[in-house]
Chains A and B, each alone.
Chain A
Amino acid sequence: MRTWFFLLVIAAFACNEINECDLDPDVGYAVVVFYDYHSPSTPKQTNWNLVYNDQSSYYYYNLEDTSSVFGLLLTPEDSILTYYWETDSVTYDLTFKYNVEALKIYYPECEPTFEFNNLRVDTTGILFDSVAVVSGFINKNVPVNVEVYF
C-alpha cells in the first residue's frame, strides 16, 4: 500500500504542468521579409525613415534600424491594418487583412493573447515590385508570412 501511495505521489509530481508562457504558439504579429527583386534568393537589408501603421501612434523602426525581417503587430480592434514604409521620396504601403479568432489565456500566469489567422494582403495599387503571402497562419511555427520584393 505504501509503495502504491508513493508511486501516486511521484505520478502527481510528474503530471505537474510547466507554466511557461513562451510555449504559447500564438503571436500577435505577421512576419514580413524583404528581398531584392533582381536577386530574390537572399533577404535584402533595408533602411527606412520610419515604419508605422494607420491605427497606432507608435512607429516601429526608424533610420537607425536596418533589417530584412519585420514583425508587424496586428490589432484585434479591426481585421484590416495598413503598414507604411517611409523613405525620403516614397512611402510604400501594404494593407493586411486577417481574422481575429479569439482572446485566450494560455496559463493564468501569462498575459492573455489574441489569436489571428487567415492573413491576406491587398495588393491593389502597391508600389513594391511583388508581394507573396507564404502562409496565412499566424503562430510561432510559421517563420515567414509575407515576402516582399522590390
Chain B
Amino acid sequence: MWKYTFSLIALGCVLTTYAQQLPGQFNMGSGGGGGEAITMKEMRALRQQLPKDWSIKYVKLSYDIMPTGRQILFPDQKGMEFQLSTQFYQYFIMVEGGFQNITRNHSDSVYDASNSGRYYSYDYNSSGAFTRIGPEANLIKPNELGGSFTFGLKYAHSWFQDKIDYNGDIGFGQNDYILENRKAQASWLEATTGLNLPITKNLHMGYTVRLKLFKKVKGTDSLQPFDIPGYGRFEKNVALGFSYYIGWAIPFNKDKGAAPSTP
C-alpha cells in the first residue's frame, strides 16, 4: 500500500490546483471570456476562428519527482527521470529518459511437511536506463494560462541488466545459485493522459498516468527478470505508471503567442 500512497498524495495536490484554476481557463481557451454561457456548437465555431500557430515557442525540461519519492520511502529503489517536451500548436513531442536501480533481498526459514526447517536467502538487483518518445495531443486549445489536458502514445525502450544470488536447499543440499542477464532489453507502448498547469510564468507542474502495453523482452536466459527499468514488474503484461512532473519552460520568442501549454 505504501507504494500507492505517494502517488495518491501527488495526484490529490494537482487535482486541487486544477480545480482552483479551471473555470477561467476554459473560457479563455474557447475565446468566450468572462464566463458567458455559450453552446458547444458556438464554442467549436469560435475555436475554428482562432489562428493556428505551429511555431515552436518553448522547450520545457521537467523532472519526475515520483522516483525520488519512492527512493525516500524505499531506499533500495533508486531512480531518476526527466522529460523534454516542445509544443506545436495543439500537439507535443515528448522525449523522456531515466534510469533505475532496484535491489531486493529476502531471507527466511521454510518449514516442510515433516516440520524440518531450512533456510534461504536471495539478493536481486536490476539496473538500467530507459527512454520514451511520442506525441501528445492537448484537448484544451492553447490558452493564456497554459494549462493542458493531454492524451498521447509513446514508444518505450529499456536497456537493463539484472542478477540474483540465491542460496537455498531445494532438495539437493544448500547451494548458491548465481544467475544474471547482462544485456537484456525490453520495449513496450504507452497510452498516456496527463494534466498540467503553470505555477508561475515558467514553472509548470502536472501529472501523467501511463498504461503500458505490448511488452516484449529479449536477451534474458536462465533468470526471469523481476523489475524492468521504466516498465515495472516483468510478469505483468499490462502495467500502470504515474509520473508527477515539475518543469521549467524556456521560451524561444517572448513577444509571440501565448504562454507555454505543456503536459
Chain B residues with Cβ below 8 Å from A115 are 224
Alpha-carbon separation in the docked complex, A114 to B171 (Å): 12
Chain B residues with Cβ below 8 Å from A77 are 172, 175
Q: In the bound complex, do residue A112 and residue B122 qualify as a contact, i.e. CB atoms below 8 Å apart?
A: yes
Could you tell me how many residues of chain A have their Cβ less than 8 Å away from some Cβ of chain B?
A: 30
Q: In the bound complex, do residue B110 and residue A111 qualify as a contact, i.e. CB atoms below 8 Å apart?
A: yes
The SS class assigned to the B binding surface is mixed
Chain A residues with Cβ below 8 Å from B7 are 12
Q: In the bound complex, do residue A73 and residue B173 qualify as a contact, i.e. CB atoms below 8 Å apart?
A: no
Q: Tell me, rounded to whole Å, the shortest Cβ–Cβ distance linking A15 to chain B.
A: 7
In the assembled complex, B104 has its CB within 8 A of some CB on chain A: yes
Q: In the bound complex, do residue A111 and residue B164 qualify as a contact, i.e. CB atoms below 8 Å apart?
A: no
In the assembled complex, B1 has its CB within 8 A of some CB on chain A: yes
Chain B residues with Cβ below 8 Å from A28 are 170-171
Alpha-carbon separation in the docked complex, A62 to B223 (Å): 35
Given A56, A101, A112, which contacts B166 in the complex, CB threshold below 8 Å? A112
Q: In the bound complex, do residue B222 and residue A12 qualify as a contact, i.e. CB atoms below 8 Å apart?
A: no
Given A102-B223, A103-B164, A105-B124, does the pair A76, B177 have CB atoms closer than 8 Å?
A: yes
Nearest residue (CB) in B for A104 is B224
Given A5-B12, A111-B108, does the pair A105, B172 have CB atoms closer than 8 Å?
A: no
- Residues of A whose CB lies within 8 Å of any CB of B are 1, 4-5, 8-9, 12-13, 15-16, 28, 55-58, 73, 75-77, 100-105, 108-109, 111-112, 114-115
